[in-house]
């Protein structure tokens, strides 16, 4: 079997997308010493204080002692940040014992001088600056001079400066955990949010009266036409008039539990955490699920982040076939009980109304010619059709009733089952999962064998009558798929050993077949030729693409405990928990107090300070925007490989101008 694709390859996207759940703190219990001297993290030099520092300039040591001169536990750890502060001298001046002053009015820690503690024992310590022990001098101190502690805690690790005795406890945030998962929305039926009614289909004359439907631009059907033969436009007109919405069921799989604890990022596959939760039905009014009736576990809908504005497209790899290149595969030996050809296609608005989409070749038993049986899925007069050719005499074709839409992704499929006798079979055509009424002669076939020779994909310049556009998710089956299975194929991957899938090419930029262990061999006249381009700014005029991404944001808790510098602006560096090696965002948090219990802020970041996730759903970028450029695109159509950029909102497209390549990379399409 060989399949000929008369179109450049690009992507329709899928209903699947990576979803990230809300962030949950991971806490550990740490001890905190609470006493009069330690509440403000202040170590004074003044001997009149309850506890004060005694300095030994000979050994460069500091010791905390009480009013009676006896040693007191200082409660410090190696690396604890300390600042020398004096109100008597300016910021940056040298003060007591040769220490550099961080004035009490300083609000930015970067403008201060940070010393760190080098603990000798629980009573004595030294100060280090840039890793070197500070040599203390005999310079006198001023009244009120002290060493003050300052802790800046990020969402990765939080610490306290006084982990000494089991006097009290406090919760310390040491990291976060969240789930990522693949989310499918599978349409099962239709739902009326006003009445709560759920219907799997409608019966003309019973469920609705044809004369009461606002058909708009859709052709009004006859009273005898069953619901299963309604066109997509006719179905939508009925749904709009009756107030029904598509009814989706949630399918969650590929769940990963991601943990970022003490700076270490791990990911572990887990079962569906919402499997046993009660089912809920919601109709979101905003975000990527707006206008859809969805039933499933409530948490699977509420745990993902809320969408925010998207300002730029994410570059992904598109698939481009060039010249007369052929993608060929090895033969498949499996039982052949029928045939199904299907694909997602995009037809250029100004393209031909006639041309081939896919062509298959099946051998005949006992013949050395693999091309004696041909089955071609093609377009004639803008309508879907299936053509059969056996030897040179048995030719037949069935033609659909609906004109295929342009400038949008459309799922097309044809099935043939040998249940009409030895030389004829039953043929069905489908557009977006809806059966298309057909006319024409019965499809002929000589005999199905238990072997399919190969599948091939050709470019648009195969012949002058070729279609122009794009194709994705090419599948060939060795059985006739049912109507329900064709609908399933629109959004789901083939699965199971008995599925009957022979060839599956996602055409998403991968060189391989979508079937594990069935890699595709790429050949052009015996020479490997295959091109993957990145982005859409292609000087050679080949089709490429950019995919819009959604941005999601969450409220992340930040804790600053026991800060001695009041009203200090703390610069917090935040890593994207999903891809910490990719994005680094910054934001400012204003410290309002320095109590021992600490203060907690919930901070939402906009612009560059959000968590970003790639999401592709339902063959349309989640966020759609117009072109923004002062330089006009060329209006002259090119005749050789005319790539274009699609504006999803206005259903408009723009041809590539080689003289103005920079403009070509602006905007967003599918």
- 578-607 pLDDT, tens per residue? 333 433 333 333 323 222 222 222 222 233
pLDDT of 375 reads: 81
Q: Considering 262, 289, 314, which residue would you say is the last residue of a domain?
A: 314
pLDDT of 201 reads: 78
pLDDT of 459 reads: 36
Closest CA to 596 of 50, 159, 40: 40
Residues 296 and 390 in one domain: no
pLDDT of 367 reads: 64
Question: CB 595: neighbour CB atoms within 10 A?
Answer: 12
Return the minimum-mean-pLDDT range out of 35-39, 73-77, 662-666.
35-39
Residues 304 and 327 in one domain: no
Instruction: Flag whether pLDDT at 102 surpasses 90.
Output: no
159 within some domain? no
Type and span of the H or E element at 488:
helix 483-489
pLDDT of 164 reads: 26
- Can you tell me the mean pLDDT for 60-76? 79
Kindly provide the b/e burial profile for residues 521-533, where b requires at least 16 CB atoms within 10 angstroms of the residue's own CB: ebebeeeebebeb
Per-residue confidence band for 495, with pLDDT thresholds at 50, 70 and 90:
low
3-state secondary structure labels for all residues of 352-369: CCCEEEEEEEECCCCCCC
- Can you tell me the mean pLDDT for 321-349? 63
Residues whose CB is less than 8 angstroms from the CB of residue 29 and which lie 6 or more positions away in sequence, other chains included: 169, 170, 171, 172
- Can you tell me the mean pLDDT for 342-352? 77
508 within some domain? yes
Residues 573 and 523 in one domain: no
Instruction: Flag whether pLDDT at 126 surpasses 80.
Output: yes
Residues 568 and 510 in one domain: no
Residues 106 and 119 in one domain: yes
Return the minimum-mean-pLDDT range out of 27-36, 172-181, 556-565.
556-565
pLDDT of 281 reads: 80
pLDDT of 384 reads: 94
Higher pLDDT, residue 123 or 290 = 123
637 within some domain? yes
Kindly provide the b/e burial profile for residues 1-34, where b requires at least 16 CB atoms within 10 angstroms of the residue's own CB: bbbbbbbbbbbbbbbbbbbbbebebeeeebebbe
- Can you tell me the mean pLDDT for 36-50? 60
Contact status, residue 64 vs residue 150, Cβ threshold 8 Å? no
168 within some domain? no
Tokens of 190: 């239709």
Return the minimum-mean-pLDDT range out of 34-48, 436-450, 523-537.
523-537
DSSP 234-282: HHHHHHHHHT-EEEEEEEEEEEEEEEEETTEEEEEE---TTTTSPEEEE
Return the minimum-mean-pLDDT range out of 11-15, 67-71, 142-146, 404-408.
11-15
pLDDT of 621 reads: 21
28 within some domain? no
Q: In CATH, what number is assigned to the domain containing residue 390?
A: 2.60.120.200
pLDDT of 125 reads: 92
Return the minimum-mean-pLDDT range out of 112-126, 259-273, 301-315.
301-315
CA 162 to chain centre: 43
Contact status, residue 152 vs residue 589, Cβ threshold 8 Å? no
pLDDT of 559 reads: 30
Tokens of 124: 């004595």
Return the minimum-mean-pLDDT range out of 134-138, 249-253, 666-670.
666-670
Instruction: Flag whether pLDDT at 561 surpasses 50.
Output: no
pLDDT of 414 reads: 93
* Range ranked top by mean pLDDT from 399-408, 559-568, 587-596: 399-408
Higher pLDDT, residue 272 or 469 = 272
The model's pTM? 0.36
3-state secondary structure labels for all residues of 595-650: CCCCEEEEECCCCCCCEEECCEECCEECCCCCCCCCCCCCCCCCCCCCCEEEECCC
Higher pLDDT, residue 535 or 16 = 16
Q: Considering 314, 333, 350, which residue would you say is the last residue of a domain?
A: 314
Contact status, residue 666 vs residue 629, Cβ threshold 8 Å? yes
27 within some domain? no
Residue ranges in 275-374 assigned as alpha helix (H): 298-302
Instruction: Flag whether pLDDT at 257 surpasses 70.
Output: yes
pLDDT of 550 reads: 25
* Range ranked top by mean pLDDT from 170-179, 575-584, 650-659: 170-179
Residues 426 and 300 in one domain: no
Tokens of 472: 């994705």
Instruction: Flag whether pLDDT at 116 surpasses 80.
Output: yes
- Can you tell me the mean pLDDT for 237-242? 90
Residues whose CB is less than 8 angstroms from the CB of residue 503 and which lie 6 or more positions away in sequence, other chains included: 1, 3, 329, 332, 452, 455, 474, 475, 476, 513, 515, 518
pLDDT of 336 reads: 76
pLDDT of 109 reads: 64
- Can you tell me the mean pLDDT for 120-131? 89
Kindly list the distances between the CA atom of residue 140 and the CA atoms of 55, 60, 134, in Å, as whole numbers in the listed order: 11, 15, 16
Task: Quote the mean pLDDT of the chain.
Answer: 61
- 3-class DSSP assignment, residue 170: strand
pLDDT of 286 reads: 63
- 3-class DSSP assignment, residue 51: strand
Instruction: Give me the half-sphere count of Cα atoms (radius 13 Å) on the Cβ side of residue 490.
Output: 23
Per-residue confidence band for 452, with pLDDT thresholds at 50, 70 and 90:
low
Residues 374 and 322 in one domain: yes
Per-residue confidence band for 18, with pLDDT thresholds at 50, 70 and 90:
very low
DSSP 90-158: -TT-B-GGGPBP--TT---GGGS--EEEEESSSSEEEEEETTEE-----PPPPTT-EEEE-----SS--
Residues 246 and 330 in one domain: no
- Can you tell me the mean pLDDT for 85-96? 86
Instruction: Flag whether pLDDT at 499 surpasses 90.
Output: no
pLDDT of 34 reads: 29
Instruction: Flag whether pLDDT at 301 surpasses 90.
Output: no
Return the minimum-mean-pLDDT range out of 77-81, 83-87, 234-238, 399-403.
77-81
Higher pLDDT, residue 637 or 145 = 145
Q: How far apart are CA 502 and CA 667, in angstroms?
A: 38
Tokens of 581: 């090696």
pLDDT of 365 reads: 61
Instruction: Give me the half-sphere count of Cα atoms (radius 13 Å) on the Cβ side of residue 135.
Output: 0
Per-residue confidence band for 400, with pLDDT thresholds at 50, 70 and 90:
very high
Residues 252 and 302 in one domain: yes
30 within some domain? no
- 3-class DSSP assignment, residue 661: helix
361 within some domain? yes
Residues 340 and 370 in one domain: yes
Per-residue confidence band for 512, with pLDDT thresholds at 50, 70 and 90:
very low
Closest CA to 602 of 568, 572, 567: 572
Contact status, residue 457 vs residue 5, Cβ threshold 8 Å? yes
- Can you tell me the mean pLDDT for 99-109? 78
Residues 357 and 485 in one domain: yes
CA 320 to chain centre: 23
Instruction: Flag whether pLDDT at 128 surpasses 90.
Output: yes
Residues 238 and 356 in one domain: no
Question: CB 53: neighbour CB atoms within 10 A?
Answer: 22
Question: In terms of residue numbers, what domain contains 57?
Answer: 42-149
Tokens of 517: 């262990």
pLDDT of 96 reads: 82
Instruction: Flag whether pLDDT at 451 surpasses 80.
Output: no
pLDDT of 515 reads: 54
What domain count does the chain have?
A: 5
* Percent of residues, the chain, with pLDDT higher than 90: 6
Length of the chain counted residue by residue? 670
pLDDT of 670 reads: 22
């Amino acid at each position: 079997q060989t399949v000929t694709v008369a179109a450049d390859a690009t992507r329709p996207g899928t209903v699947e997308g990576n979803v990230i759940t809300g962030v949950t703190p991971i806490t550990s219990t740490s001890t905190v010493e609470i006493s009069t001297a330690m509440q403000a993290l202040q170590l004074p030099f003044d001997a009149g204080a309850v506890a004060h520092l005694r300095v030994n300039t000979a050994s460069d040591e500091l010791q905390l002692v009480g009013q009676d001169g006896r040693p007191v536990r200082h409660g410090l750890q190696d690396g604890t940040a300390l600042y020398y502060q004096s109100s008597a001298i300016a910021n940056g001046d040298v003060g007591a014992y040769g220490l550099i002053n961080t004035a009490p009015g300083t609000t930015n820690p970067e403008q201060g001088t940070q010393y760190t503690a080098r603990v000798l024992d629980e009573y004595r310590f030294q100060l280090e600056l840039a890793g070197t022990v500070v040599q203390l001098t005999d310079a006198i101190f001023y009244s009120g001079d002290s060493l003050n502690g300052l802790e800046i805690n990020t969402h990765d690790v939080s610490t306290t400066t006084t982990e000494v005795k089991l006097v009290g406890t406090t919760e310390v945030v040491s990291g976060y955990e969240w789930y990522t998962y693949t989310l499918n929305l599978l349409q099962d039926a239709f739902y009326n949010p006003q009445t709560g009614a759920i219907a799997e289909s409608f019966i003309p004359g019973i469920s609705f009266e044809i004369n009461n439907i606002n058909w708009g631009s859709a052709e009004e059907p006859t009273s005898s036409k069953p619901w299963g033969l309604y066109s997509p436009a006719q179905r939508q007109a009925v749904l709009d008039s009756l107030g029904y919405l598509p009814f989706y069921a949630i399918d969650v799989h590929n769940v990963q539990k991601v943990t970022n604890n003490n700076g270490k990022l791990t990911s572990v596959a887990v079962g569906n955490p919402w499997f046993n939760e009660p089912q809920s039905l919601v109709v979101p009014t905003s975000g990527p699920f707006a206008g859809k009736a969805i039933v499933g576990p409530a948490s699977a809908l509420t745990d993902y982040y809320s969408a925010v504005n998207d300002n730029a497209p994410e570059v992904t790899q598109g698939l481009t076939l060039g010249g007369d290149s052929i993608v060929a595969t090895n033969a498949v030996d499996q039982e052949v009980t029928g045939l199904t050809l299907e694909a997602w296609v995009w037809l250029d608005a100004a393209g031909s109304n006639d041309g081939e989409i896919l062509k298959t070749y099946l051998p005949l038993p006992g013949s050395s010619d693999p091309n004696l049986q041909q089955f071609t899925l093609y377009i004639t007069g803008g309508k879907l059709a299936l053509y059969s050719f056996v030897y040179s005499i048995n030719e037949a074709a069935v033609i659909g009733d609906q004109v295929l839409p342009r400038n949008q992704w459309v799922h097309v499929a044809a099935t043939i089952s040998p249940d009409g006798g030895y030389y004829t079979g039953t043929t069905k055509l489908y557009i977006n999962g809806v059966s298309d009424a057909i006319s024409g002669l019965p499809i002929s076939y000589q005999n199905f064998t238990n072997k399919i020779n190969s599948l091939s994909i050709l470019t648009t310049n195969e012949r002058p009558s070729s279609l122009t556009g794009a194709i994705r998710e090419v599948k060939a089956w060795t059985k006739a798929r049912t109507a329900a299975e064709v609908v399933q194929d629109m959004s789901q991957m083939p699965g199971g050993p008995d599925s009957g899938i022979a060839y599956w090419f996602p055409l998403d930029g991968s060189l391989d077949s979508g079937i594990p262990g069935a890699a595709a061999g790429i050949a052009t006249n015996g020479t490997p030729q295959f091109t993957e381009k990145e982005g859409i700014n292609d000087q050679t005029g080949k089709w490429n693409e950019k995919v819009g991404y959604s941005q999601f944001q969450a409220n992340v808790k930040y804790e600053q405990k026991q800060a001695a510098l009041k009203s200090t602006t703390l610069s917090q560096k935040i890593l994207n928990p999903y891809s910490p090696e990719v994005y680094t965002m910054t934001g400012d948090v204003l410290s309002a107090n320095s109590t021992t219990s600490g203060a907690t802020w919930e901070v939402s970041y906009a612009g560059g300070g959000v968590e970003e996730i790639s999401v592709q759903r339902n063959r349309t970028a989640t966020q759609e925007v117009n072109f923004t450029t002062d330089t006009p695109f060329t209006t002259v159509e090119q005749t050789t490989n005319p790539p274009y950029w699609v504006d999803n909102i206005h259903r408009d497209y723009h041809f590539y101008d080689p003289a103005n390549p920079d403009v070509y990379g602006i905007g967003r399409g599918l």
